Amino acid sequence: MTAKKHSVGEHLRDQGVSRRAFLKFCTASASLLALSPGLIPALAAALEQARRPSVIWLSFQECTGCTESLTRSHAPTVEDLILEMISLDYHHTLQAAAGEAAEAAREQAMKDNFGQYLLIVDGSLPGPDANPGYSTIAGVSNYAMLMEAVEGAAAVIAVGTCAAFGGLPEAAPNPTGAVAVMDLIKDKPLVNVSGCPPVPMVITGVLAHYLAFGRLPELDEYHRPLAFFGQSIHDRCYRRPFYDKGLFAETFDDEGARAGWCLYRLGCKGPSTYNACATMRWNSGTSWPIEAGHPCLGCSEPRFWDAGSFYAPLSVPTGLSSNQVLTAGAAGVLVGGTVATLARRTVETAAVSRQPVTADELEQTL
């Protein structure tokens, strides 16, 4: 199957999509990309002329949660995204073909669109020095398949924390020698859409950006798109004013929890976590973990599985005692952004030496 060569606009018109419907699609895409609504006409003009890219999706050491997340994306609907905006030529879980026919479709798409296709990867993979037998597809090691597929790719999108940072397979003691995609790919444009799973609209937003502008979006230090990962959960959290006032829930059922106060002392990793949950939310925009009363786990950050208990408060910045930080928060005089920056750095450093929490420790925390 080869990507059709006419533009997205032409394709949509052929499908009987009216101009108003197209503008509505552009409105949804602009909202996804965090673009000002004033840019919708420019976005419409760009999408009108965009060519439908061939997409090859490789799934390695993963749980299929990332694909589950994408197929629950409502903006644009996955049907629109997959059938109208891109040509999804290979995806284990979603394609009808299986076995040799599936692999033949991948090889044909790679040949027909060499140098132009988008390569999406979910899951980490055993590195070049690990036993390749830990994860194979059609008898081919994940490493060999990735290296073959990346050769003709225009760009690579690593979807989910496993592909972006190694994720659960890479967590200590990392029995399969798992590595992240960016550990192996150095000579291609690469974007990480982290999260466990990623916010579905972020996946589609990155694709929409690529369609509209023909390049990957601006990235942060971890290769994540700034439009979605540019601000911390803490900075965009609607509970942030409670943090600034020093109003914290101390347990999951106390007065503060019922009143919707800040979940920092219950282990919220919002200050050191960068993601779009606070504005995009989950389940079709219904809610998100913190609104549901649960601390952020920090699932879009590197090594979050090895960063200690989900329910222990964040590490305290070097030079400040726990009491100093909490007292300052209570007084409302310590700027949250400073704490967030320092805490993030400390978490990254501390994560290396931490041990996974045990069930007994978790019980004591609760």
Partner 1 sequence: MSALSSIPIRVQSMSHGTANCGNAVPILHEVRHALERLIATGEGTQIDLNAIPFGPEDEAHLLAVLGVGEVRATIDALGPTHVQETAIPGVWLIDYRITEDQRLALHLDIGDIPEILRTQRQDLDTALTTLDARLTSAKDRAQFEY
Residues lying near partner 1 in the complex (CB under 8 A): 17-21, 23-25, 27-28, 30-31, 34, 36-38, 40, 74-75, 77, 236-242, 258-261, 278-280, 284-285, 291
Half-sphere exposure of 265 (CA within 13 A, CB side): 21
The CB-of-107 to partner 1 minimum distance in angstroms stands at 35
Burial label for 81, CB within 10 Å (0-12, 13-18, 19+), is: buried
The CB-of-55 to partner 1 minimum distance in angstroms stands at 22
Amino acid at 148: E
Nearer to partner 1, 160 or 205 (CB): 205
Nearer to partner 1, 23 or 351 (CB): 23
The CB-of-241 to partner 1 minimum distance in angstroms stands at 5
Nearer to partner 1, 90 or 282 (CB): 282
The CB-of-22 to partner 1 minimum distance in angstroms stands at 8
Nearer to partner 1, 38 or 133 (CB): 38
Nearer to partner 1, 90 or 288 (CB): 288
Nearer to partner 1, 34 or 316 (CB): 34
The CB-of-28 to partner 1 minimum distance in angstroms stands at 4
The CB-of-271 to partner 1 minimum distance in angstroms stands at 15
Measure the CA–CA gap between 342 and 15, rounded to whole angstroms.
Answer: 52
User: Can you tell me whether residue 95 is helix, strand or coil?
Assistant: coil
Exposure class string for 207-222: b at 16+ Cβ within 10 A, else e: bbbbbbeeebbebeee
Of 116, 113, 73, 110, which Cα lies nearest the Cα of 94? Answer: 73
Ranges of H-type helices in the chain: 8-14, 19-32, 40-49, 65-70, 78-79, 99-112, 142-151, 161-165, 167-170, 200-213, 226-229, 233-236, 240-244, 255-258, 277-280, 322-331, 336-351, 359-365
Contacts of 172 (CB under 8 A, 6+ apart): 306, 356
Nearer to partner 1, 151 or 254 (CB): 254
The CB-of-235 to partner 1 minimum distance in angstroms stands at 9
Joined together, the tokens standing for residue 239 give 């509970």
The CB-of-306 to partner 1 minimum distance in angstroms stands at 29
Of 302, 294, 283, which Cα lies nearest the Cα of 237? Answer: 294
Rounded to 5°, angle at Cα 340 from 334 and 345: 125
Nearer to partner 1, 44 or 120 (CB): 44
Joined together, the tokens standing for residue 57 give 């999706």
